[in-house]
Amino acid sequence: MKKQIISDALKKWTEVGTFNSEYDVQFEIELYKKLLEVSHVGPTYCFVFNPSVGQIVYHSDEMELILGYSKSQLSIQFILNNIHPEDLPRFTEIENAVVDFKNSLPVDKKMKYKSRYSYRLKKANGEYATIVQQSITIKLDEYGGIQHNLVFHTDISAYEPSTKMNLSFIGLDGEPSFIDYQPKYIYKRKNSLFTAKEKEVLTLMIGGLKSKEIAAELKRSIHTIHIHRKNLLSKSGCKTFNELISHSIKEGWTN
């Protein structure tokens, strides 16, 4: 399923993109960064994406520093593989909506809209960062096909550790904006983030019970409870159990 979703994203991007060499990208990058007037509320890096071939043709040094990966690892395929499994289907659905939106615009307006949404991305240390992605087209071919998109990633984990992945199109140069744009659902969702046994453990954690007490209540070994607790953190993308409990109550994960 994951491979198919990633393949769908890569295929969709070819509908809007055309190939172009990268010779002028680094020369123009600082100018576009100033023109965008992007407001950053956390550590930020940027990269230039060629949608026709699904490749990063330039990235700022901060990308390696913030994510912790080496330059040789960083690619669109690598980023897609490290999006939180729960966020990946919606990510692809959102990107479908972005491509369709861009294709619906007249040529003179394709560079006047910035897309914005958020999702969780795994860093080299295994933790998930909540990333706000802002993207704008910076280069078109003579027929209006998109050659380069400038993409900013801002780590907002310190402010918002989880995300609802709301998509907005921000109009520039006086163009109207479209806030909380609703992409179509394409992929079937699982009924639950956690298994029934994991929900039992989570419910008791919310009730204030410690691992030893949960093991006694459920008549399972302490080792089994520890495994369930570890899986709960991994599946939720939370960093701490306090964060897990907080989001469980907020999102209704035990219902």
pLDDT in tens, 37-62: 555 678 999 899 999 889 998 888 89
77 & 177 share domain = yes
The per-residue pLDDT for 23 is 46
Q: What is the CATH number of the domain that holds 223?
A: 1.10.10.10
Task: Domain count for the chain, please give it.
Answer: 2
CATH number of domain containing 14:
3.30.450.20
Q: Quote the mean pLDDT of the chain.
A: 86
Position 230 in a domain: yes
101: helix, strand or coil: helix
Q: How confident is the model at residue 91 (pLDDT cuts 50, 70, 90)?
A: very high
Residue 160 lies in a domain: yes
Please give the residue range of the domain that contains residue 212.
196-251
Q: How far apart are CA 103 and CA 118, in angstroms?
A: 22
Pair 140, 39 in one domain: yes
The structure tokens listed for 86 are: 């729960």
CA distance readout (Å), 76 to 135, 187, 209, 211: 14, 21, 42, 40
Confidence of residue 19 (pLDDT cuts 50, 70, 90): low
User: Same domain, yes or no, for 138 and 200?
Assistant: no
DSSP string, 16-59: TB----STTHHHHHHHHHHHHT---SS-EEEEEEETTTTEEEEE
Q: Is 23 in the same domain as 112?
A: yes
Residues 109 and 210 in one domain: no
The answer to whether the CB of 117 falls within 8 A of the CB of 128 is: no
170 and 76 within one domain: yes
Indicate whether 186 belongs to any domain.
no
Residues 201-216: tens digit of each pLDDT: 999 999 999 999 999 9
- The reply to whether 93 and 214 lie within a common domain is no
Which three-class secondary structure state does DSSP give residue 156? coil
Same domain, 146 and 84: yes
Task: Tell me how far apart the alpha carbons of residues 81 and 75 are, in angstroms, rounded to a whole number.
Answer: 10
Q: Mean pLDDT over residues 71-91, rounded?
A: 91
Based on the fold, state whether residues 118 and 226 are members of the same structural domain. Answer: no
